[in-house]
Structure formats: C-alpha cells, structure tokens
Structure 1
Amino acid sequence: MFKRLLLITFTLSSVPCFAEKKPKLYLTPYSHLDTQWLWTYEDTIQKYLKNTVDDNLKLMNEFPEYQFNFTGAFRYKLIKDYWPARYQLVKQKIQEGRWHVSGSTWEESDVLIPDPESVLRQVLYGNLFFEEEFGKTSVDLMLPDSFGFPSSLPTVVKHAGLKGFSSQKLTWGAANGVPFNVGLWSGPDGSEVFAALNPGPYDSPVPKDLATHKEWLDRLNSNPRVEGQALDFRYFGIGDSGGAPRREDVENVVKALRNPGRSYDLAMGSSDQMFRDAEGKDLRLLPRTSGEKLLVEHSAGTLSSNSQIKVQNRQAENLAYQAEFLASFASIFSHPYPKAKLRRAWETLLAVQMHDIMGGTAWPKANSHALNDLAIAKNLFRSSLEASAAALAGDMDSSSPGLPLLLVNTSEADHQEVLSVSLPIEAGRFTHVRAPNGDERPLQRIHAAKGFQDFLFGANLSGTEAGIFTLFAKKGEELETLETLPVSEAVIESDLLKVSIGMSGDIISIWNKELNREELKEPLRYEFLNEYPTKYPAWNMTWKDRKRPPRSYLGGPAKIQIVDRGFWRSSIRIERKGEGSTFIQTISLNRGRPVVDIIEDIDWRTRDSSFKAALSPMFSSKTAFYDMGLAVEERPANHPKLFEMPQHEWMAMQSSGRGMGLINSCCYGTDRPSEGKMR
C-alpha cells in the first residue's frame, strides 16, 4: 500500500508590512545660479550674489516658515570675499536653520567630463568649507542642471559619505527615460544611493491650491512607500542668475503649511532632509535603477564644445594626481606635505568644472577667465610636484658619473615608455642613458629650440617606482651612427608596426609585424559631419544629422615631411586644409610600443560641423567599450536614443580574439556609426 503525502509550503515575504501612514511631500526652495554662463564672475559678484542674499533675506523677514537652499561653497566664498556684511547675515540664517548649505560641492559641476576623483574632491572641499565656516555640512549631491550622469556616480556619492542625489535634468530627454520620481540608483560596485530623479524644473511654480492640488496629490500618492509612507521630492524656485523664489510661490507654500486640513505632511526645508529622514529605514520597496543616465541630444554637444577648456582640464587633473602622489611619497621620507597649496590648486580647478564652463556652453569672456584659472591651478600643482621631486631626488643615490634624472612612475602598472628630455647646450655632450639597474641605452637627438638639445630614450619602471637615470657620453660613439627606425614620406616603421600613408595624407595601412597581419579594414579617414540642431547649438546634436553620411572628408593635397628619424622614434608631419580649417598631424612610432601616436594641431574655422577621426578595424562587434574612470561602459552602435557617447581616456572594440582601441589625451565625444567603425 502506498500513501501519498501532499506537502504544501508557504514563502513569506522578507519585507515587513507597515501600517499606512500619511504621505509626505518634501519641497526644496532653491535659486539656481550659473556662476558663469552668459555672464562672468564680475556680473555674478556685483549683481547675482548680492541679489540672492537680499531677496531671500526679505522673504525670510516676511514669512517665518520660509527656508532657502543655496549650493556651491565657491559662491559662499565669493560672498565672504566681496560682501562681508551680507555674509555675516547669511551665517546667522544658517545657524537659525533657515538658510541651508546644499549639494555638498565646491561648485555645481559637470560630472561626465571631470575624472571621478574630481567629483569626489568637489564634495571633500565643498563640505570642508561648510564645516569650517558654518559648522554644518550637507549629505546630498544636488546637480539640477548638469548634462547627464555616469553610472559610477552612485559609487562616488556613497564613498563620499553622502546619502542622496537629486537632479531635474533627465526630463530634458533622457536616453533611457526617467526611471522614477524617487528611488534607489546603484553604481557598478553595488553601492546604492537614494535618488530624486524627477523633482520638476528648478524654476517650477507652486500651485495656489497646493494643499488640495489634484496633480500634485496624485503623483505623491502614486509614489512607492517607505515603511508605509508615500514620499515625493520637488524643487521650486528660480534660475539661472540667482535671486530668490517668486513671492507668490513662497506664499502658496506657506498657505499650505498653515492649512490644518491637508491630507499629507508637507516639509519646506533643506535639499537633503528626505535623505536624512530615510536613514535607517527600510527602502526595499523603492524602485531601483542602475547604469548611466545620459541625455539624447542635450549632453551630446557638451562633450566636445570649447575643446580647449577640456584639454586644459585633463592636463590639470593629470598634474593633480602626480602632485598628490609625489607629495605623499615624499612625506614618507619626512618631507612636509603641501596641504594648503594643494587645496588652493584643487579649489581653483574645481571652480572651472562648473557645468556650463566644462560643458563648453558659456560665452567667450567666461571661458577666458576659466582658462586663466586652469593655468593657475596647473602652476600650483606643478610647483608642488617639482618641490616633492626635488626632495625625493635629494634622498636618492645620484653619484653615478653623468647627469642624473629622477623618473617616477605614478601609476600602479609597469610602464615601458619612450621619454623626452630638454637640456641647455652647456649641460654637456651625451650619447647614452644608464638605467638604475645598470643597463645602458642610446639616446636619440630630436629637434630642439635654439640653445637647447632634446633627446629621446627608452625607460622601464615598475608600478609606483622611482629611479635615477643617468645621461652620459660614451667614448667613440656618436648619435648619428646608431641604428635608426625606417621612415619616409610614405612609410613609418618601428620594430612592431609599419604604417603606410596615402597620397591624400591618410593612414591607409597599419601592418602588425608581430602578428603578421593587417589591422585596418579601410583607411583612417577624417570626417566633417553636419551639425544643425534646431536649438542649443553648444549643447545639442541630433539623430537627424548623425545618421547622415559625412558631408566631406579631409583630403589632399598633403604636405608631408620627415620630423624624426632615429633609434627610438620615427615621425612624419602632414599638413592639410579642409573646409576653411588647417590640420597639422604628427604621426609617430616608438620602439617597443604597439601604438600609433598622432598629435593633432588644428586651426578650426569651419561652421556647423563636427570633425571626427574614423577608425575601421578588420573586424566588427555589436558593442564597444568606453572608459569612464570608475567604470567601463559597454554600448551598442549608434541608435536614435544614443548617438554621441562620453568616454575619458579610451574606447575599444574586440571580437574573436582581436581588438583595437582609440586612446586620447583630451577628447570626450565618441560614436560608432556602424558595428565596424569607431570615431
């Protein structure tokens, strides 16, 4: 006899049930100020900051319930420096809890172009200033007007010790839509941040019947619950030149606050209050999102507009990293750490990373101020770097005969590089360099300014290694007698690669000597693309333009001349003209390096166009990879929702054991018109 047993199991939800609570609406009164945009620092100091203080103090005097949020420690510093009496009044209101230091950052920065380290420094120096000046800090990252957000931003926010993030910019045409009003956004490492991604425009009006307004109430009640309570987060205020929210909007909020018959809780306060209130609560019922938050059109052009700002910013960030590394290294050997100088350098750089400056959407005079500040920041970082290097060199053995050079590899990876050094003629005669391990390598003389002698040499350093390399002259040998890499006006060679140049000046072949194969499917072409956005030309690119073929290509006639011929490097210089602009390219191959180096010198005079280098490897791939600092993004080829994509230092394709990448020193805007092309 068989008995059958029916087993019934019940799976209970791990999310506890909470009693329904009265919904809560968080209102953030705010004034958006572009520190520079269609105006300069002078206008901001003389008018907009003054008006922001005066107008908000007037509202505070009229409405006891009124509170105000203002971002950017840099703007507070400007008030302190230029309006000290008003600054004292602001400090008083901050202590009273009616004026809130918001957003945590030194400036409302762009976050697609700056390195993630810069974004972290925005929070570090912003909240440091707030703490020193007011004894208070903010726990939110508030970026209402920045032009898109990388997938790593939640990771940066979390590691900076912040609790929340808000922006209204995704309503300007997000590539993947607006995922929710309030919810959780996770970064590539799993870090989650409570985010308000649809707070309404920062200049939103407040309805007169706020206490009972159907649209606002419906949205609030439809939002997910946190421990049984529906939450919503909204901006209201004014922009883009500071000031205060409209009086009628403040009056409407105060009227609702005083209405005892409201069906929901209403808070008019700091931009981080919702995130503070959620601390320790069960957020598992909130909707979730992950990945980057890019805009279809409105962040496309900002990746390339006013490229000189972006070039100088990249150089400043690189100097910052090197200066910090060497200063920390030197401090191990009891040399003082230049804390004040590095802070001043960072604060100068971070102010330039304000979204309209870094995005290239400000007017020329504002950009001129920014370039000046970038030069100051670079000089401060460079002087710190040089002082630390000198201190380190003094502690190292440089007794080997010859001229000692201190080399430091500030990265964690081992590096084999061809380096250049410039010396005055009177420094002496040199033919070789001696590495720290005793290996001797020849020097290659290259073109130098009058009174100087410039050399190239190969150097190997392990990650974070420092070493003394010594230049010396070897008896009986002259530089001109050393083996040279082959170079002509049509062909450049190294030990690893052979590059062929066509009559028009294009690279028509890259032959890989190690693997005995061609790497290019078609010549590397430079393309002029139509750019006719219907509005916001410094911001926008359109799918209508992008899906068209190039309107023209950079071609001949090309002036080609040999620049370098020697043991370490072969180079040629190509000059061409196209659509009113002049292009000078120096193409180089270095011994031991499987990379084609191209230095571009462009005198740009062309209108209504972008200019791109189009690289077609011998393979295709459905997706490509893009460096974004803390994350590597994998994206498909162009499509109507994403056709201009950000990257930092490289993009790459790979398929079936083959791969090819584009490495850059300053370019952020990229795309793939097909699965077989990068540009």
Structure 2
Amino acid sequence: MMFALSKAEIAQLDSVVYTLTRDLEVLYELADRLIPDQRGYQALYTANQMINTIISGDDSGAVVLAKQYFSKGNGTRCHTLAAIGNCHIDSAWLWPFSETKRKVARSFASQLKIMEDYPEHIFVASQAQQWAWCKEYFSELFDRVKLQVAAGKFLPVGSTWTEMDGNIPSGESFIRQFFFGQKFYQTEFGVTCKEFWLPDTFGYSAQIPALMRHMGLQRFLTQKMSWSLINKFPHHNFIWEGLDGSTVLAHFPPGDSYHMFLTVEEALWTQQNLRDKGRSSVSAFLFGYGDGGGGPTQDMLERRQRLANTDGCPKIQMMTPDDLFTQLESEQHNFCRWVGELFLELHNGTYTTQAAMKKLCRQAEFAIRDAELLLSFAVAFLGPSAAATLLQQSMLELEVAWKKVLLNQFHDVLPGSGIGIIYPQAEQYYTEALTTASDISNLAIDAIFGASGTTSPAVINSLQWPREEVIKTIEGAEEYMLVSAPPVGYSFLTPITPSTPVSINEVDGVFILDNGLVHAEINSLGLLVSLKVTGDGRDVFKKEDSTQLSGNQIIIYDDEPLYWDAWDIMDYHLETPKVVNDLNSGFNLTPVSIVESGPLIAKLSWGVDLGSSSTFSQDIELSASSPILTFNNTVTWHEDHKVLKAVFDTNVQSSKANFDIQFGHLERPTHMNTSWDSARYEVCGHKWADISEPEWGFTIFNDSKYGWMARGQQLSLSLLRSPKAPDYFADMKDHAFKYGVMPHTGKMP
C-alpha cells in the first residue's frame, strides 16, 4: 500500500499544562465516583479552585492546590492494589506469529522509555517464546531489557514457553511448557519464576496444581474465570486443590481484567468486586494495553502517582508479583479451598473448532514421546561415544520440535480462535515436529536393531502393557496379521492365530459382529443397537423391558453462539437435533454393507450426504483380540454454523461420568441439579470418557477430539463445528478421524 504524507507537525510538551490536565482528570473521576460522599465534594471543590486559579493566570498555584489535595493520605486499613504493568501479547490471534514479533519489540521498547521517566515502574512479561523472539530479532533491544531485568524492574513471569490452552495439552506438554520456559529464564537472566501466570485461557484442568507442584511452583494467577456466563466464581483468593491433593495458592485480580488503565472507576470497582473482603488486604491490579500489546502509558503512570494514597480510593502501590504473593501467602490461612477443575462457563466450542490443530497436536505429542522413549533405548544399546553423539544431536532437534508444538498450544491457536492466516504456519510447525520425531525414531530403531545384528521385521510396543493387535502387513493393501508385543518392547513379526476369529452375520437387516470379547449389532442405518461383553447379559443399548436405545447416532445441530463464534457453543444448540442416520431425517443415506468378513477383521461401511457439499462416510470395524469396536470416519465438511456429534443413548445408570485428562481422570455429574451442573453441557476430555455402574459400563475412545457431553444416560462426542469468525473458512475441508466404543464388566478399566 502507498500513502501520501500531507502534513507533519512538531510539538513541544508543556509539562505544567500536562501535569494540570492529569490532576484535573483524576479529581473529576473522584468527584464523579464518590459524590455524595464528602470526599467527592472535596475533590470537586479542589478542581473548581484550580480552574479559577488557572483562569487568573496562576498555573503554578493550581499545581500547588492539587499537590495539597493528593498529599492527604488514606487510612491504615485501606485495601491495597498491587499495580503491576503488563501487556499480555497474544502470540497469535487476529494477527500471525510474524506480527507478534514486532509487537514484542514495540511493547518492550516503550516500557524501557517509561522506566526512564518513572523509576518506580514495574513491568512483567510472560511467555519465554516472546522473550526469545526479542533476543533473536532485536538483539540490541534485548540487551537493554536485560539491564532492567537485573535491576528488578522488567520481570519475566509465568514460567512457561507460551500462555497455552489450559485444557487440551497433554500432561507431558504442560511439563515441557514449564521446563523450556524456566530453562530460558535461568539461562538468559539467572531467574527462576515463582508463579504460573496464565491470565487469559479458556478453563483450567484439575491437574494443574499437581503439575505446578511437580515443577516447584505454588502460586497461580489468572482472571478468565470472571467471564463465566452462568455462575460467578465465589473467590478471588483461594487454595486450589488438584486431583491428587496437591494445593497451590490461586489469585484472581478482582478487577476481572489484565488491561486496566489506572482510573478511579477501575480502582473502586476492583475493591468493590473483591469476593474475599476481610480475608485479604491486597489484590493484583494489572494495568496496560493488552492482547495486542503496548502496555502501560505515561498517562497511566501519572494517574498511579496521584492515586497512590488518596482518601476515598484503595491504595495503589507498585509491586512485583513476588511482593504480591508474599503478602497473600501471609494471609492464606484465611482463604477458602476449591477442589477440582476451574471450569469456564464459556468458550467451550474451542474444544472442537479447527479440528486439524487438535489432531496434529495429539499426533505430535504421541510421536515425540515415542521418539524420546526409543532414543533412550538406543543410547542403552550403543557404546559410550556413539551414544553421546546420537543423544546430543537428537536432543537439540527434539527441543526445537517441542518448542514448535508448545508455540502451537498457545491459547488462540490450539483452541481454534484465531484468524485463518495463522493456521497454515501452525500446520507447518506441527508437520516439522512430526518429521523430526519420525527421523529420530528411525535413527533409534536402526541403532537398536543394528546393535543386535537383527534384520527380521518386528513390531514395537511403546506402551506399558502387552498388546495383541491386528496390523496391516502392506500399507494401503487389505492384508492383515494378528501380532503381539510385550510392554515397552518388541517382538519379531510372527503371525498369531486368534483364539476366537471375528464373525459377522446379517439377520433381518441387522449386522451381528462378535470376536469372543465384544458382541455388537448394527442396523442398516449404521446405528449401534446392541453392545455387550460377549457372554454377559447386560446390554449397553437394550433394556430388560425391551426398550431399544441406540448409539452412533450422527447428529447435526444448529450452532449459533451469542457472542464469540469460534469460541462458544451454547446449551440451546441441543434443542435442534437432526439425526442424519434416521430414515425420517430426509438425508440421502447409503445403507450399511459388508466390506470385510473376517477372520481377523470384520468391517461395515455406510455413508450419508450432510448437505449440498458435505458428506460423511464411516467404516465400522471389529478386530480379532480387540475389545473395542472402531468407527473410522471421513468427512467433507462445508456447513454454516452447524455442529456434528456422535451420540450414544445408553442403558447405563450413573450420576457421574469420567473423563481422561492429563495424567488422570476427572468425574463430572451427568445431572443438572444445580446451575453449576447444568453449565457443564460441553466439557473437555482427552482420549476417552466412561459412564459406569458399579459392576459394568461403557467407554468411548477417540484419536483427536476433545469436546464431550454427559447428560443422564447419554454420552456424546463433538466431531466438527463450522463457525465463521474470526476464520470464515474454519474446518471447511476434508477430515479423517476415528472413535471406538467398549463395553466392560467390573469397574471402569
């Protein structure tokens, strides 16, 4: 773009006039907010005197009047606001990573200038990735920043590589966020952060306290819970207890924001809004332009000076996060306790939007984990010199791969709430990380088998339990073999004869599949009408009173959020179900047909047109020796404000369901007894969810999905969404994913 410069002006700051405008601004706000209180009238009278003095030509006299007013201090019991400058730069959101690098430079440079003029200024910046960008692209600026870090004015906070999503990343990803973040701060500044600083993300896993304590952290700060749509969170200061009993001190700035501007209105609101009055004497007050960066300005620092100790307002003192949390820790015996997840009652569409981000994230987490495991085995097999060479080079490459994955876990990239331009680069980063993991895995495998002199084909099991599975012998061909491997080990490629071959029969339009472990019945529409452990009488979908339920209902709903398109899915979407594999639905459906009939694989196939340009096809498979019935799905998706789900109406009676999360599982209610329960209509889970009675139950697995619902006896998995903002073309493409179901006896496996 070309622009014509038509006018340029040079101005000189009149410091006296600037001071008076700031004085009058604050006095006006005090009068506006405090009247009819006497202190409001005092502010109004002082401002009136100043105006009269200015009109008479005595500007310096007006300055004296203002100083006299602001010199009258507050009471000793007045609440203190810990003013902490910040700029919370989204690593990508309505701009790509490349623009964020420039935002970092502009924001950091402006804060250095503010510190020159206001020596009391404290500024914090999280996300080690952004500090690393500053070092890489703006080295001179970074050197100047380091001087202020050493002076205790420009402070790294948060401990993590990026401000990641708080639900979707794996437990290992969380640990790596802390590890690489702290490593950078320790290497560059000799600083170890003492807090987890995550002001803006879309809910918080119940495992975060345990993960924090594992990394030596006991302080947590966020504010996003103030966005909950239904229930107001009851605390701003509390002890947060995780799944294993680990506890941390949690603080929510009661101003409910991380980009405040140090106005009287904000200060009074922060004090009024505090949910723990009487329990704490200090609260964080995070000021500065945020999201797009910028940070505090001169005007904000001027207002802070006037409100530092002004009667009628809380005290506003510059503090470091360490000062703030040290004072809170001295009062934490007063605080209440919250157990379990911090569930944000909004933005739960982010568990599903931009499906490719979720799938690539899951694949990369698994692939890097396997590469590291195989690498450790290879080092044990090799001699010292060869092991050191392989380890040194591989660890450097794996660190680069991890950092690409961690960057993509930023809380507007992985959740899918950014503009379209950011996702091609994010996919590239994931692809590069996957390539690195594959290359290192291959090097490690070559080292392992080369050291043993073995050339025979083998299968490797990287999991901690023995596995017996059907594999394809030739990729792309329909040739199968049943093989086994020990826990965290390998076995040579030796075919096994299944103890019970898979059988498939059709009776009156119902397809019956059985492998000695699972008995399943699927009708011609692809509905799962019977599922049980072979030999057990309890059926997931048939009741004793002959009531017929069904699973694998593919349902499409209207999806029109109130506020944030890519972010939100509202509960009223559940009022608009259209079951696509139903004869009365009006969808053009290709009925079920047999594709494979055993003895190792039984496979059915069916499909349906979802719209004029959207299609859904599904292969239903049961393999020998597997307790899981698998659904392989291929979807061409070009819908407008729709959400697609797989729904299972079960015969399992339970008041709670269990969901896989980082290093554990979480119980959530299946009922709507309270407003807190009803707000959990769309929740986050990882690889599986289970609904069980004491002695039997039903589990759903998936390879790349995170949005779930458990209501009554129904368990459902969200598959795809089609929001139109901020990315109009979000998920408008082809998708491949799978989920599986398993009946079980006994307690949840």
Same fold (TM over 0.5): yes
Task: State the SS of the aligned residue for 1:54.
Answer: helix
The code of the aligned residue for 1:268 comes to M
CA distance in 2, matches of 1:587, 1:158: 43
The code of the aligned residue for 1:467 comes to Y
CA distance in 2, matches of 1:516, 1:278: 57
Task: State the SS of the aligned residue for 1:284.
Answer: helix
- Of residues 560-569 and 348-357 in structure 1, the stretch that sits farther from structure 2 once superposed is 560-569
Q: Give the aligned partner of residue 372 of structure 1.
A: 428
Q: Which runs of 5+ in 1 are unaligned?
A: 1-19, 424-446, 449-453
- Cα 1:486–1:541 change in 2 (3 A) is closer
Q: Give the aligned partner of residue 679 of structure 2.
A: 641
Is 1:237 paired with 2:288?
yes
Tell me which of 588, 598, 621 is aligned to 2:621.
588
CA contact (8 A) 2:236 2:276 kept: no
Q: Give the aligned partner of residue 255 of structure 1.
A: 306
Q: Which runs of 5+ in 2 are unaligned?
A: 1-75, 543-548, 583-587, 673-677, 718-749
Q: Give the aligned partner of residue 738 of structure 2.
A: none
Is 1:470 paired with 2:502?
no
Is 1:192 paired with 2:273?
no
CA distance in 1, matches of 2:80, 2:277: 10
Q: Give the aligned partner of residue 515 of structure 2.
A: 494
Q: Give the aligned partner of residue 530 of structure 1.
A: 558
- Cα 1:642–1:468 change in 2 (3 A) is closer
- Cα 1:565–1:404 change in 2 (3 A) is farther
Tell me which of 630, 634, 642 is aligned to 2:663.
630
CA contact (8 A) 1:224 1:286 kept: no
Is 1:90 paired with 2:145?
yes
Task: State the SS of the aligned residue for 1:626.
Answer: strand
- Of residues 409-418 and 568-577 in structure 1, the stretch that sits farther from structure 2 once superposed is 409-418
CA distance in 1, matches of 2:317, 2:663: 36
- Cα 1:517–1:190 change in 2 (3 A) is closer
Give the superposed CA RMSD: 2.9
Is 1:674 paired with 2:712?
yes
CA distance in 2, matches of 1:34, 1:241: 6
Q: Give the aligned partner of residue 481 of structure 2.
A: 457
Q: Give the aligned partner of residue 303 of structure 1.
A: 351
Q: Give the aligned partner of residue 318 of structure 2.
A: 268
CA distance in 2, matches of 1:127, 1:324: 21
Normalising by structure 1, report the TM-score: 0.83
Q: Give the aligned partner of residue 408 of structure 1.
A: 460
CA distance in 1, matches of 2:539, 2:313: 71
Aligned residues: 610
CA contact (8 A) 1:569 1:589 kept: yes
CA distance in 1, matches of 2:655, 2:594: 39
- Cα 1:267–1:386 change in 2 (3 A) is farther
How does 1:271-670 map onto structure 2 within 5 Å?
A: 271-276=321-326, 281=330, 283-296=332-345, 298-334=346-382, 335-336=387-388, 337=391, 338-396=394-452, 398=454, 404-422=456-474, 448=477, 455-464=479-488, 466-470=489-493, 485-486=503-504, 491=511, 492-510=513-531, 512-516=533-537, 518-521=539-542, 522-524=549-551, 525-546=553-574, 548-555=575-582, 556-558=588-590, 560-580=592-612, 581-637=614-670, 639=672, 640-670=678-708
Task: State the SS of the aligned residue for 2:474.
Answer: strand
Q: Give the aligned partner of residue 156 of structure 1.
A: 211
- Of residues 183-192 and 551-560 in structure 1, the stretch that sits farther from structure 2 once superposed is 551-560
- Cα 1:209–1:493 change in 2 (3 A) is closer
Give % identity: 24
Runs of at least 4 residues off by over 6 Å: 260-265
The code of the aligned residue for 2:515 comes to S
Looking at secondary structure, tell me which structure has more helix per residue.
2
- Of residues 214-223 and 304-313 in structure 1, the stretch that sits farther from structure 2 once superposed is 214-223
CA distance in 2, matches of 1:237, 1:282: 27
CA distance in 2, matches of 1:567, 1:358: 41
- Cα 1:224–1:455 change in 2 (3 A) is farther
1:544-575 CA-to-partner distances (Å, cap 9, x unmatched) read 223x1514434452154544344321212322
Task: State the SS of the aligned residue for 2:211.
Answer: helix
CA distance in 2, matches of 1:289, 1:174: 19
CA contact (8 A) 1:652 1:660 kept: yes
Q: Give the aligned partner of residue 224 of structure 2.
A: 169
- Cα 1:584–1:25 change in 2 (3 A) is same
Q: Offset at 1:276?
A: 4.8
Q: Offset at 1:75?
A: 1.1
Q: Give the aligned partner of residue 181 of structure 1.
A: 236
